[in-house]
Protein backbone atom coordinates (compact mmCIF):
# COMPACT_ATOMS: atom_id res chain seq x y z
CA UNK A 1 0.00 0.00 0.00
CA UNK A 2 0.97 3.61 -0.58
CA UNK A 3 0.84 5.91 2.45
CA UNK A 4 0.00 9.48 1.35
CA UNK A 5 0.48 12.18 3.99
CA UNK A 6 -0.78 15.77 3.74
CA UNK A 7 0.71 17.83 6.57
CA UNK A 8 -1.34 21.01 6.98
CA UNK A 9 -1.10 23.83 9.49
CA UNK A 10 -3.99 22.53 11.59
CA UNK A 11 -4.46 18.89 10.64
CA UNK A 12 -2.47 16.11 9.04
CA UNK A 13 -4.46 13.84 6.73
CA UNK A 14 -3.20 10.36 5.91
CA UNK A 15 -4.47 7.99 3.25
CA UNK A 16 -3.70 4.36 2.46
CA UNK A 17 -3.98 3.48 -1.23
CA UNK A 18 -4.22 0.03 -2.71
CA UNK A 19 -3.47 0.88 -6.34
CA UNK A 20 -5.86 3.70 -7.31
CA UNK A 21 -8.30 2.92 -4.48
CA UNK A 22 -8.27 4.81 -1.19
CA UNK A 23 -8.83 2.11 1.42
CA UNK A 24 -8.45 4.08 4.64
CA UNK A 25 -7.98 7.71 5.67
CA UNK A 26 -7.17 9.34 8.99
CA UNK A 27 -6.97 12.88 10.37
CA UNK A 28 -4.71 13.89 13.26
CA UNK A 29 -3.65 17.21 14.75
CA UNK A 30 -0.53 18.85 13.28
CA UNK A 31 1.11 19.32 16.68
CA UNK A 32 4.44 21.08 16.08
CA UNK A 33 6.17 19.56 19.09
CA UNK A 34 5.69 15.90 18.21
CA UNK A 35 8.84 13.85 17.82
CA UNK A 36 9.50 11.18 15.22
CA UNK A 37 9.05 8.54 17.93
CA UNK A 38 5.61 9.89 18.84
CA UNK A 39 4.57 10.05 15.20
CA UNK A 40 5.81 6.52 14.57
CA UNK A 41 3.66 5.28 17.47
CA UNK A 42 0.64 7.12 16.03
CA UNK A 43 1.21 5.61 12.58
CA UNK A 44 1.43 2.08 13.93
CA UNK A 45 -1.64 2.62 16.12
CA UNK A 46 -3.64 3.82 13.11
CA UNK A 47 -2.62 0.72 11.15
CA UNK A 48 -3.60 -1.47 14.07
CA UNK A 49 -7.04 0.20 14.15
CA UNK A 50 -7.73 -1.04 10.60
CA UNK A 51 -6.06 -4.40 11.27
CA UNK A 52 -3.09 -3.93 8.94
CA UNK A 53 0.48 -5.09 9.51
CA UNK A 54 3.23 -2.52 8.98
CA UNK A 55 4.56 -4.69 6.15
CA UNK A 56 1.46 -3.67 4.16
CA UNK A 57 2.96 -0.21 3.59
CA UNK A 58 5.60 -0.38 0.85
CA UNK A 59 5.81 3.27 -0.25
CA UNK A 60 4.97 6.78 0.93
CA UNK A 61 4.68 10.36 -0.27
CA UNK A 62 4.48 13.53 1.83
CA UNK A 63 3.17 17.02 1.10
CA UNK A 64 3.91 19.41 3.94
CA UNK A 65 3.38 23.12 4.54
CA UNK A 66 4.88 22.85 8.05
CA UNK A 67 8.69 22.66 7.68
CA UNK A 68 9.20 21.78 11.34
CA UNK A 69 7.09 18.63 10.89
CA UNK A 70 8.35 17.50 7.47
CA UNK A 71 11.52 15.86 8.77
CA UNK A 72 9.81 14.35 11.81
CA UNK A 73 7.06 12.76 9.69
CA UNK A 74 9.62 11.44 7.20
CA UNK A 75 11.74 9.96 9.99
CA UNK A 76 8.67 8.37 11.58
CA UNK A 77 7.69 6.72 8.31
CA UNK A 78 11.25 5.48 7.81
CA UNK A 79 11.40 3.95 11.27
CA UNK A 80 7.91 2.46 11.12
CA UNK A 81 8.06 0.92 7.65
CA UNK A 82 11.72 0.90 6.60
CA UNK A 83 11.08 3.09 3.54
CA UNK A 84 12.14 6.56 2.43
CA UNK A 85 9.12 8.70 1.56
CA UNK A 86 9.01 10.95 -1.50
CA UNK A 87 8.62 14.57 -0.37
CA UNK A 88 6.77 16.89 -2.76
CA UNK A 89 9.03 19.83 -3.52
CA UNK A 90 11.37 21.34 -6.10
CA UNK A 91 12.66 18.77 -8.57
CA UNK A 92 9.79 16.29 -8.56
CA UNK A 93 7.91 15.58 -11.77
CA UNK A 94 4.43 17.05 -11.57
CA UNK A 95 3.36 16.69 -15.21
CA UNK A 96 1.99 20.23 -14.88
CA UNK A 97 3.77 23.48 -15.82
CA UNK A 98 3.80 25.85 -12.83
CA UNK A 99 3.38 29.38 -14.21
CA UNK A 100 4.12 31.14 -10.93
CA UNK A 101 6.76 33.89 -10.81
CA UNK A 102 8.68 31.64 -8.40
CA UNK A 103 7.39 28.04 -8.60
CA UNK A 104 9.17 27.22 -5.32
CA UNK A 105 6.64 29.42 -3.51
CA UNK A 106 3.72 27.17 -4.40
CA UNK A 107 2.74 24.94 -1.49
CA UNK A 108 2.97 21.19 -1.98
CA UNK A 109 -0.71 20.80 -1.13
CA UNK A 110 -1.67 23.32 -3.83
CA UNK A 111 0.30 21.37 -6.44
CA UNK A 112 -1.34 18.11 -5.37
CA UNK A 113 -4.80 19.69 -5.55
CA UNK A 114 -4.17 21.13 -9.01
CA UNK A 115 -2.83 17.85 -10.36
CA UNK A 116 -5.75 15.83 -8.99
CA UNK A 117 -8.38 18.32 -10.15
CA UNK A 118 -7.07 18.50 -13.70
CA UNK A 119 -6.82 14.72 -13.90
CA UNK A 120 -10.44 14.57 -12.75
CA UNK A 121 -12.02 17.11 -15.13
CA UNK A 122 -9.49 17.20 -18.02
CA UNK A 123 -10.11 20.91 -18.46
CA UNK A 124 -9.89 24.29 -16.79
CA UNK A 125 -10.58 24.00 -13.08
CA UNK A 126 -10.47 25.99 -9.86
CA UNK A 127 -9.89 24.21 -6.56
CA UNK A 128 -11.20 25.93 -3.43
CA UNK A 129 -9.40 24.31 -0.50
CA UNK A 130 -10.89 25.25 2.88
CA UNK A 131 -8.07 24.89 5.38
CA UNK A 132 -6.31 27.17 7.85
CA UNK A 133 -6.23 29.54 4.91
CA UNK A 134 -8.52 29.12 1.91
CA UNK A 135 -6.62 28.54 -1.33
CA UNK A 136 -8.07 29.07 -4.79
CA UNK A 137 -5.81 27.13 -7.17
CA UNK A 138 -6.32 27.75 -10.88
CA UNK A 139 -5.51 25.44 -13.79
CA UNK A 140 -6.18 26.47 -17.38
CA UNK A 141 -7.53 24.30 -20.20
CA UNK A 142 -3.96 23.36 -21.23
CA UNK A 143 -3.29 21.85 -17.82
CA UNK A 144 -1.04 24.65 -16.58
CA UNK A 145 -1.09 25.92 -13.00
CA UNK A 146 -1.55 29.64 -13.61
CA UNK A 147 -1.72 30.89 -10.01
CA UNK A 148 -4.44 31.55 -7.52
CA UNK A 149 -5.69 33.31 -4.42
CA UNK A 150 -4.91 32.83 -0.72
CA UNK A 151 -7.56 34.14 1.70
CA UNK A 152 -7.83 33.94 5.50
CA UNK A 153 -9.63 30.76 6.49
CA UNK A 154 -13.08 30.85 8.03
CA UNK A 155 -11.85 29.64 11.42
CA UNK A 156 -9.09 32.28 11.47
CA UNK A 157 -11.60 34.98 10.59
CA UNK A 158 -13.91 33.84 13.36
CA UNK A 159 -11.12 33.72 15.95
CA UNK A 160 -10.01 37.22 14.99
CA UNK A 161 -13.54 38.52 15.54
CA UNK A 162 -14.03 36.73 18.85
CA UNK A 163 -10.65 37.80 20.23
CA UNK A 164 -11.06 41.50 19.31
CA UNK A 165 -14.70 42.01 20.32
CA UNK A 166 -14.98 41.80 24.10
CA UNK A 167 -18.77 41.37 24.19
CA UNK A 168 -19.01 38.71 21.47
CA UNK A 169 -18.79 35.17 22.79
CA UNK A 170 -17.61 32.29 20.63
CA UNK A 171 -20.38 30.50 18.76
CA UNK A 172 -20.43 27.26 16.76
CA UNK A 173 -19.53 27.87 13.13
CA UNK A 174 -22.63 26.50 11.47
CA UNK A 175 -25.37 27.64 9.12
CA UNK A 176 -28.00 29.82 10.83
CA UNK A 177 -31.70 29.56 9.94
CA UNK A 178 -31.71 32.85 7.99
CA UNK A 179 -29.48 35.72 6.92
CA UNK A 180 -31.13 38.22 9.26
CA UNK A 181 -30.29 37.00 12.73
CA UNK A 182 -32.82 37.38 15.54
CA UNK A 183 -30.18 36.94 18.24
CA UNK A 184 -26.45 37.47 18.60
CA UNK A 185 -25.56 33.83 17.94
CA UNK A 186 -27.48 33.69 14.65
CA UNK A 187 -26.24 37.15 13.66
CA UNK A 188 -22.63 36.04 14.13
CA UNK A 189 -23.22 32.78 12.28
CA UNK A 190 -24.85 34.62 9.38
CA UNK A 191 -21.91 36.98 9.09
CA UNK A 192 -19.37 34.19 9.28
CA UNK A 193 -21.02 31.57 7.07
CA UNK A 194 -22.98 33.63 4.54
CA UNK A 195 -20.28 36.29 4.52
CA UNK A 196 -17.70 33.65 3.69
CA UNK A 197 -19.92 32.20 0.96
CA UNK A 198 -19.99 35.69 -0.54
CA UNK A 199 -16.20 35.87 -0.40
CA UNK A 200 -15.88 32.52 -2.17
CA UNK A 201 -18.41 33.27 -4.90
CA UNK A 202 -17.05 36.76 -5.47
CA UNK A 203 -13.49 35.50 -5.89
CA UNK A 204 -14.52 32.62 -8.15
CA UNK A 205 -16.42 35.02 -10.40
CA UNK A 206 -13.37 37.26 -10.68
CA UNK A 207 -11.16 34.23 -11.38
CA UNK A 208 -13.49 33.00 -14.13
CA UNK A 209 -13.49 36.48 -15.69
CA UNK A 210 -9.70 36.12 -16.11
CA UNK A 211 -9.35 32.37 -16.61
CA UNK A 212 -12.45 31.71 -18.70
CA UNK A 213 -15.04 28.98 -18.10
CA UNK A 214 -13.83 26.53 -15.47
CA UNK A 215 -15.18 23.81 -13.21
CA UNK A 216 -15.00 24.56 -9.49
CA UNK A 217 -14.19 21.86 -6.93
CA UNK A 218 -14.33 22.30 -3.17
CA UNK A 219 -12.17 20.37 -0.72
CA UNK A 220 -10.83 20.70 2.82
CA UNK A 221 -12.35 20.61 6.26
CA UNK A 222 -15.05 23.27 5.90
CA UNK A 223 -16.04 22.53 2.29
CA UNK A 224 -19.14 20.65 3.46
CA UNK A 225 -20.36 23.78 5.30
CA UNK A 226 -19.68 26.42 2.64
CA UNK A 227 -20.06 24.58 -0.68
CA UNK A 228 -23.80 23.77 -0.36
CA UNK A 229 -24.52 27.49 0.06
CA UNK A 230 -22.25 28.52 -2.82
CA UNK A 231 -23.55 29.18 -6.34
CA UNK A 232 -20.12 28.54 -7.88
CA UNK A 233 -18.76 25.36 -6.25
CA UNK A 234 -20.04 22.44 -8.31
CA UNK A 235 -18.56 19.45 -6.51
CA UNK A 236 -17.00 18.51 -3.18
CA UNK A 237 -14.08 16.07 -3.27
CA UNK A 238 -12.96 15.55 0.36
CA UNK A 239 -9.81 13.55 -0.40
CA UNK A 240 -8.61 15.58 -3.40
CA UNK A 241 -5.16 16.34 -1.95
CA UNK A 242 -4.49 12.69 -1.15
CA UNK A 243 -5.53 11.75 -4.69
CA UNK A 244 -3.08 14.30 -6.04
CA UNK A 245 -0.34 12.79 -3.93
CA UNK A 246 -1.11 9.33 -5.30
CA UNK A 247 -0.84 10.66 -8.85
CA UNK A 248 2.43 12.46 -8.08
CA UNK A 249 3.88 9.29 -6.61
CA UNK A 250 3.00 7.36 -9.75
CA UNK A 251 4.58 10.04 -11.97
CA UNK A 252 7.83 9.92 -10.03
CA UNK A 253 8.25 6.37 -8.81
CA UNK A 254 6.39 4.07 -11.20
CA UNK A 255 6.51 3.24 -14.89
Of 109, 129, 137, 201, catalytic: 109
Predicted confidence at residue 27, as pLDDT, reads: 95
| Helix (H/G/I), strand (E/B), else coil: 254 | coil
State residue 104 phi and psi, 5-degree precision: -65, -15
For 34-65, what is each residue's pLDDT tens digit? Answer: 999 999 999 999 999 999 999 999 999 999 99
How would DSSP label each residue in 139-201? E-TTS-EEEEEEEE-HHHHHHHHHHH-TT---------SSSS-SSHHHHHHIIIIIHHHHHHH
SS3 assignment for 82-125: CCCCEECCCCCCCCCCECCCCHHHCCHHHHHHHHHHHHHHCCCE
State residue 22 phi and psi, 5-degree precision: -80, 115
- For the entire predicted model, the pTM comes to 0.93
For 182-220, what is each residue's pLDDT tens digit? Answer: 999 999 999 999 999 999 999 999 999 999 999 999 999
For 115-129, what is each residue's pLDDT tens digit? Answer: 999 999 999 999 999
pLDDT band at residue 90 using 50, 70 and 90 as cut-offs = confident
Predicted confidence at residue 255, as pLDDT, reads: 57
Domains of the chain: 2-87 (3.30.420.40), 103-245 (3.30.420.40)
CA distances, 30 to each of 1, 7, 71, 97, 101 (Å): 23, 7, 13, 30, 29
CA neighbor of 65 nearest in space, from 145, 19, 10: 10
CA neighbor of 241 nearest in space, from 6, 2, 22: 6
109 is annotated as an active-site residue? yes
For 147-183, what is each residue's pLDDT tens digit? Answer: 999 999 999 999 999 888 877 888 999 999 999 999 9
Amino acid sequence: MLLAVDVGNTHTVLGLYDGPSLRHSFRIESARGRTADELMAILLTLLNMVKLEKSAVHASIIASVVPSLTEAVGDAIGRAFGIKPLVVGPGIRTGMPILYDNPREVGADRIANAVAAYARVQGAVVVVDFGTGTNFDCVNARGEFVGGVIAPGLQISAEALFSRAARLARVPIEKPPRAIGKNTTHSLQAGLVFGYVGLVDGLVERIRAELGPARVIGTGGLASLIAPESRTIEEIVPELTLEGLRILYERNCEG
